[in-house]
Amino acid sequence: MAEIRVENLQKLFGEFVAVRDSSFTVPDESFFVMLGPSGCGKTTTLRMIAGLELPTSGRILLGGEDVTFNRASARDIAFVFQLFALYPHMNVRGNIAFPLKCQGVPRAETRKRVGETARLLRIEHLLDSPVSGLAGGDRQRVALGRAIVRRPKAFLMDEPLGTLDTEFRDLMCQELRGLHNRINATTVYVTHDQLEAMSMADYIAVMNNGEIEQMGPPQEIYDRPATMFVADFIGSPSMNLMPFHGALKKGASKVLLDGVGVGVPALRESLAATDLALGVRPEHIKLSDKSKLRAKVFSSEYLGTTQIVTLETGHGNVHARISADRKVRTGETVGLEFIGERLSLFERSSGRAVDTALNDGAAHG
């Protein structure tokens, strides 16, 4: 196993910039997820690490060795494709043994390692069946088996659960993470599904427009989004971004919204009057009759233990996640209260988060 280091990676397709100056390090034995909307460059980045695309500029280091222009076959990595890419003219055993056959591993050794892999993935009973008749999850396991059997330096996975139905996806998420915990292989996993990313990752890199917007452990990404894009992309429903205009002074711990003071984490920088946005997670909103910040209930969506209430405020519609016990009526006017120390502030022109006490000790991507 090895760490993967990507330095100033750039990829152009003609005029189109697919990946813009990306740098990141995937620590050894970690599960690293690249998350972003489709077309954000995450798959291109993965394919460059794999050697299926050559970067326009930048370097890729695998275990300290520069592999930027090495052939895919010379990199000692395994790749799991979204469509699994199981060879239809071979049975399960043939598929799993294929990478070993390519490398000229002796037959006895191949047999032993295929057996071990099948045992690890619990697909021993399928070894002699053709791949065409397999169910989605079993195909996925065979594809994983083909990756594991080589004992590569790193695993690269391109939305491997994308084609499975939801129920199965949750199960495979657990299995994948369980497998990672057992073999501790450095893994780079690409997905557009934030739930997959949150539930499996040690580290998440959120990408947008060919750039990494933020990188860090899932909780940090969720609690301390570095940009408005990340704040909006992560979470369901996503973070409320309430636009307002104002100046910020270092050390202050209040901003003015409609003339009402709202407590925020202590500011670590000063900003002249500009367009700002207050970022509030739905679960950090409480309905309180005492609050001077008023809003009208627009609709509510019952989710069992909680409900999502859409509220009309002077700063756009806001989603609040509150207990399902609290009865709300459409059209009712309520008071809003925020959990001050959990709020984020963004500068709207650049989209970046304003430095506050919330970010103390956080590493920005």
Partner 1 sequence: MSATNTTAHSVVEPSVRSRRIAGAIVILYAAITMIPLFWIFITGMKSPPDSISYPPKVVFEPTSEGYCNLFTTRTRQTEEYVKALGEPETICDEITRRRNMVIAGPSNYWPRFVNSLIIAFGSTFCAVFLGTLAAYGFSRFRVPLADDLLFFILSTRMMPPIAVAIPIYLMYRELGLSDTRLGMILLYTAVNVSLAVWLLKGFIDEIPREYEEAAMIDGYTRMQAFWKVVLPQATTGIAATAIFCLIFAWNEYAFAVLLTSGTAQTAPPFIPTIIGEGGMDWPAVGAGTTLFLIPIFVFTVLLRKHLLRGITFGAVRK
Minimum CB–partner distance for residue 169 and partner 1 (Å): 19
Preceding omega of 237 cis (within 30 degrees of 0)? yes
Binding segment for partner 1 among 81-89, 113-121, 172-180, 217-225 (CB under 8 A)? 81-89
54 is an interface residue for partner 1 by CB under 8 A: no
Hunting for tokens 């709020």 — which residue is that?
343
69 is an interface residue for partner 1 by CB under 8 A: no
DSSP 270: -
**Spatial separation of the C-alpha atoms in residues 76 and 310, rounded to whole Å:** 51
Instruction: Please identify which residue in 2, 40, 48, 78 interacts with partner 1, judged by CB under 8 A.
Output: 78
Minimum CB–partner distance for residue 134 and partner 1 (Å): 12
**Spatial separation of the C-alpha atoms in residues 68 and 54, rounded to whole Å:** 7
Which CB sits closer to partner 1, 14 or 259? 14
Q: Which DSSP string do the residues of 52-107 spell out, in sequence order?
A: SS--SEEEEEETTEE-TTS-GGGS-EEEE-TTTT--TTSBHHHHHHHHHHHTT--H
Which CB sits closer to partner 1, 69 or 87? 87
Minimum CB–partner distance for residue 339 and partner 1 (Å): 46
Q: Virtual CA dihedral for 311, 315, 321, 327, nearest 10 degrees?
A: -30
Per-residue mark of binding to partner 1, 139-168 (x: CB under 8 A): -------x---x------------------
Phi first, then psi, for residue 39 (nearest 5°) are 85, 10
303 is an interface residue for partner 1 by CB under 8 A: no
Instruction: Please identify which residue in 1, 52, 266, 308 interacts with partner 1, judged by CB under 8 A.
Output: 52
Binding segment for partner 1 among 44-52, 107-115, 261-269, 283-291 (CB under 8 A)? 44-52
- Cβ atoms of 169 and 161 within 8 Å: the answer is yes
Contact set with partner 1 (CB under 8 A): 50-52, 71-73, 75, 77-79, 81-85, 87-89, 98-99, 102-103, 146, 150
